[in-house]
Amino acid sequence: MPSPYRAIFATPGSKAFSAAGFFGRMPLSMMGIGVVTMISQLTGRYGLAGLLSATIALSAAVLGPQISRLVDRHGQARVLRPATLASVAAVTGLVVCAQTRAPDWTLFVFSAGVGCVPSVGSMIRARWAAVYRGSPRELHTAYAWESTVDEACFIFGPIISIGLSTAWFPAAGPVLAGVFLLIGVFWLTAQRSTEPVPLPREHHPGASALRSPGLQVLVMTFVATGAIFGAVDVVTVAFADEQGRKAAASLVLAVYALGSCLAGLVFGLLHLKGAAGRRWLVGVCAMAVSMIPLQLAGNLTVLAVALFVAGLSIAPTMVTTMALVETHVPRAQLTEGMTWTSTGLAVGVALGSAAAGWVVDAAGARAGYAVPTVAGAVAVVVALLGYRRLSRPVPTREGQRSDEREQHDRHGANLA
């Protein structure tokens, strides 16, 4: 492991909470596709399967920030365990209802309940922020590492979920996703020494973290970015199907994630200077431009190469986004702020998937790649319009941090 990564993992407990985070994040890439596979196998109704998957995604987008807001106020252990149990109970109900051919409305009720799943990635990044507060170099490397872990989940998660559901039994994917969630969250919350200490009630603003102008720009841009991801997934499957090699779609999409994974590892080794907002804007523009060659791909090999190149801009942009959230959101709302970016992505994925499916049905897979291209253009426009908000300093933040440090010093709290 390169020396900057060895350095961040020298902190006691860091290896354990990052490993727990890997298991806890696997359901993010397994649950939706697992439900689609399970329902399509049991009923043959792809339309129903897609609607249930979208219900899970939208429910998580609505509930995720609220759960994270409670975490900021009460701590990870007190909130994550009951939220996880509620989500796993909903997964169990969904599987039972699907197996027993219960009415469709029951499937939607339990799918909505699955959305109680906490944003484990935000919890892990909040721990890194607590460990390396005041050490931007180490925090940059830690965020890069976690973005790499995210991509690893998206490389292996769908393959495991689809493979088990087709080779073992239809519900295997969702069931294993629920098991991973239980393992990851309960392992993570058992590690109290690295858990961020909730600040006293008087340090919690009454309003949502989304009141921050900078966070608003990041979330709106991420809605367009999520549309890129959702559209690419749908269109790539359709493109592979038109080529007579539908099964190869998962490998092509894995190459897309691999490009991001490798870029994230390299990005974490760099000691970057200059404004983070400028790097973020460059990253958003690079993601948008990388969508253009996809429309020119004539076969799966060329498409895989184009997607690998497109993936190189993802993780660096995500890493910079987390750094900007940490800058523009009060520490008392950090976990909530990070979760709002995930919410923006989730909403965008749902919109991009729907738009791409409509275009593919109407004009074919090649035409479908216009959807992520348009989404990329929208992301650039939003980023350009909001850039000044990201560049604008937050006048109360430093003073707030000083007050918070004094408060915790008086109480003997050790956040590092």
Tens of pLDDT along 373-384? 999 999 999 999
- Region 37-55 average pLDDT: 77
- The string over 156-172, giving b where at least 16 C-beta atoms fall within 10 Å of a residue's C-beta and e elsewhere, is ebbbbbbebbeeeebbb
CA dihedral 389, 390, 393, 395 (to 10 degrees): 70
Please give the domain boundaries of the chain with CATH numbers for all domains: 1-198 (1.20.1250.20), 209-416 (1.20.1250.20)
Q: By mean pLDDT, which of 37-41, 276-280, 406-410 is the weakest?
A: 406-410
Distance in angstroms (rounded) separating the CA atoms of residues 30 and 173: 7
Selected residue with higher pLDDT from 208 and 193? 193
Using pLDDT thresholds of 50, 70 and 90, give the confidence band for residue 310. very high
Q: Is the pLDDT of residue 206 over 70?
A: no
- Region 388-399 average pLDDT: 57
CB distance 225 to 318 below 8 Å: no
Distance in angstroms (rounded) separating the CA atoms of residues 68 and 213: 19
CA distances from 97 to 35, 111, 259, 399 (A): 12, 11, 39, 53
Distance in angstroms (rounded) separating the CA atoms of residues 152 and 342: 17
pLDDT at 199: 65
Average pLDDT over the chain reads 81
409 by Cβ neighbours in 10 Å (0-12 / 13-18 / 19+) ranks as exposed
Q: Is the pLDDT of residue 208 over 90?
A: no
In the chain, what is the straight-line distance between the N-terminal and C-terminal CA atoms, in Å? 23
Provide the token pair at 297.
């791909």
Provide the token pair at 341.
């970016």
Q: What secondary structure does DSSP assign to 337-370, as a single string? A: HHHHHHHHHHHHHHHHHHHHHHHHHHH-HHHHTH
Q: Is the pLDDT of residue 407 over 60?
A: no
Helix (H, G, I), strand (E, B) or coil at 320: helix
- Region 134-151 average pLDDT: 82
Distance in angstroms (rounded) separating the CA atoms of residues 375 and 206: 34
Distance in angstroms (rounded) separating the CA atoms of residues 116 and 135: 33
User: What's 54-86 look like in SS3?
Assistant: HHHHHHHHHHHHHHHHHHHHHCHHHHHHHHHHH
Distance in angstroms (rounded) separating the CA atoms of residues 239 and 241: 5
Selected residue with higher pLDDT from 397 and 285? 285
Tens of pLDDT along 246-255? 667 778 888 8
| Model confidence, pTM | 0.76
Residue in the block written with tokens 């909903």? 90
